[in-house]
Amino acid sequence: MAIIGIIYAMFNGTMEQVNEALFEGASDAVTLVISLASVLVFWLGMMRVAEQAGILRGFAKLCRPVVRRLFPGIPDGHPAMGYILANFSANLFGLGNAATPMGIKAMEEMKKISKSDHASNSMITFLVINTSSLTLVPTTVIAIRMEYSSAAPTEIVASTILATFITSVSAITIDRIMQKSRQN
Amino acid sequence: MVEWMTVISIWLVPVTIMMILIVAIIKKVPAYEVFVEGGKEGLKMSISLLPFLLGMLVAIAILRSSGALDAFISLLQPILSKVGIPAEIAPLAILRPISGTAALSVTTEIIKTYGPDSFLGRLASTMQGSTDTTLYILTVYFGAVGIKKMGNALKVGLIADFIGIIVSVIIVSWLFL
């Protein structure tokens, strides 16, 4: 990507902007990591407490029937399930900053199962569900709509849920088809 | 429905924290010590994430500032409009999986220009809400645990994003026209 951009800049005469953007992008990343650090430290601390208290395991057991279908690669009662569930529920309620730490923990647990640096099927399924977004109430969008005096800022909730649902289902389906072709 | 969803969202985090701590006390877990241990892990994780995020954000910044991304968008616009995606929406459709902040500013721009209750305003709102920044999610999650071979994750994610865009167009036209 970077190479394409730089070559394009040569012909387009936008080298100066590229130079600027380079370091802006770098400092953006640092800012992002610092804000990510605050939620990561807090939530991973909290989740560690939950784990030690046995809450996570209970949670995983509770939701096993649903998750087992989606993630056949994860053994019963494995902590990965608890984290996956925590990530999904945080996403559903629009708590993006709580969802990321849980998701990372889920990935870590799944890595313990696969023991390689290749993405496992469960990981891909998990990420594909995440990228298709699980939001029920898109708070940011509603806020923007309110700012530009929409008559009904929340009217897009129904269309968003419907679109999210269809996208997630098709993402899971595509993932399944790809999994099959990978194995063959 | 939306009101109580907002209430749940606000209550969920504090109540969850309270429940975790109560159970910890009952089970006699040394909550503070364990919390600090887990927190340290979080700090380590965010530091190890920095190179991944920096690499991705710099590459995207170069692509955007050089004008290559805009050229790519104008190249794709006629193709996208053939499948029924309005030309005004095309930039959002392409930016959404690549950059969260860029997509959000495009959405804001569309809502500002065409009005939140116009067809384009509603479509942009739905698109913004119904998919996520695929590239960012893959970078963070795979980066954090050190996965080097992503498999089909990117491909599946991008195909799903494309479906999401088409589906948004269909749903918004069907619900609001």
What is the value of ipTM here, to two decimals? 0.82
Give the residue from chain A lying closest to B150, CA to CA. Answer: A119
- Quote the pLDDT of residue B57: 85
What is the C-alpha separation between A37 and A31, in angstroms, rounded? 10
Same domain, residue pair A172 and A152: yes
CA–centroid distance for A54 within its chain: 25
CA torsion angle for B168, A127, B1, B107 (degrees, to 10)? -40
A140 CB neighbours in chain B (<8 A) are 104, 128-129
Do residues A127 and A175 share a domain? yes
Q: For residues A77 and A165, state if they share a domain.
A: yes
Per-residue DSSP letter, A75: P
Chain B residues whose beta carbon lies within 8 Å of the beta carbon of residue A17: 65-67
Side chain identity at residue A74, one-letter code: I
Check whether B63 has a pLDDT greater than 60: yes
What pLDDT score does B9 carry? 67
pLDDT at B5: 62
Domain count, chain A: 2
Residues 55-74 of A with CB under 8 A from B: 55
Which DSSP category does B149 fall into?
B
pLDDT reported for residue B22: 92
Residue B114: per-residue pLDDT = 92
What share of chain B has pLDDT > 70, as a percent? 95
DSSP 8-state class, residue A154: G
Based on the fold, state whether residues A31 and A45 are members of the same structural domain.
Answer: yes
Dig out the tokens for B1 from the structure.
Answer: 């429905």
Measured between alpha carbons, how far is residue B24 from residues A105, A178, B160 in Å?
A: 20, 42, 40
Query: Which pLDDT score, from 0 to 100, does residue B44 have?
Result: 86
Residue B104 has pLDDT above 90, yes or no: no
| CB spacing of B161 vs A139 below 8 angstroms | no
Residues A72 and A112 occupy one common structural domain: yes
Chain B: give the shortest CA distance to residue A61, in Å.
17
Distance between CA atoms of residues B51 and B55, nearest Å: 6
Tokens at residue A168, please?
């997630």
Cβ pair A122, A110 in contact under 8 A:
yes
pLDDT in tens, B6-60: 677 678 778 888 988 999 999 888 989 999 988 888 888 888 888 888 888 888 8
Q: Which residues of A touch B140 (CB under 8 A)?
A: 36, 100, 103-104
Q: Which residues does residue A118 pair with via DSSP β-bridges, in sequence order?
A: B149
Which pLDDT score is estimated for A24?
87
Q: How confident is the model at residue B121 (pLDDT cuts 50, 70, 90)?
A: very high
Q: A5, B62: Cβ pair inside 8 Å?
A: yes
| Measured distance CA(B175)–CA(B125) in Å, rounded | 14
Report whether pLDDT(A184) > 60: no
Indicate the length of chain A as a whole number: 184
Query: How much of chain A exceeds pLDDT 70, in percent?
Result: 96
Please judge whether A42 and B42 are an interchain contact, meaning their C-beta atoms are less than 8 angstroms apart.
Answer: yes
What is each CA distance from B81 to A95, B90, B173, B177, in whole angstroms?
Answer: 34, 8, 15, 19
Q: Please indicate, yes or no, whether residues A169 and A81 belong to a single structural domain of this protein.
A: yes
**Among A126, A40, A92, residue whose Cα is nearest residue B12:** A92
Average pLDDT of chain A is 83
* Both structure tokens of B85: 């995606």
Enter the DSSP assignment of A90: H
| pLDDT grade for B64, boundaries at 50, 70 and 90 | confident
- Over residues B79-107, the mean pLDDT reads 86
> pLDDT at residue B124 above 90?
yes
- Picking from A55, A53, A46, A57, the residue whose alpha carbon sits closest to that of residue B28 is A53
DSSP lists the bridge partners of residue B149 as: A118
Stretch A175-180: mean pLDDT? 86
- In this structure, are residues B12 and A137 in contact, taking their beta carbons and an 8 Å threshold? no
Decide if pLDDT at B3 tops 70.
Answer: no
Residues in B touching A167 (Cβ below 8 Å): 130-131, 160-161, 163-164, 167
pLDDT of A130 higher than 60: yes
Q: Taking the C-alpha atoms of A105, A108, A113 and A114 in order, what is their torsion angle to the nearest 10 degrees?
A: 140
| A chain contacts of residue B134, beta-carbon cutoff 8 Å | 131
pLDDT one-digit tens code per residue, A65-124: 777 788 888 887 788 888 888 888 888 766 667 788 889 999 999 999 888 888 888 899
Last residue of a domain, one of A53, A82, A97: A53
Q: What's the DSSP call for residue A14?
A: -
Boundaries of domain holding A42: 1-53
Per mean pLDDT, which range of A30-44, A51-65, A155-169, B83-97 is the poorest? A51-65
Residue A59: pLDDT above 80?
no
- Both A79 and A113 in a single domain? yes
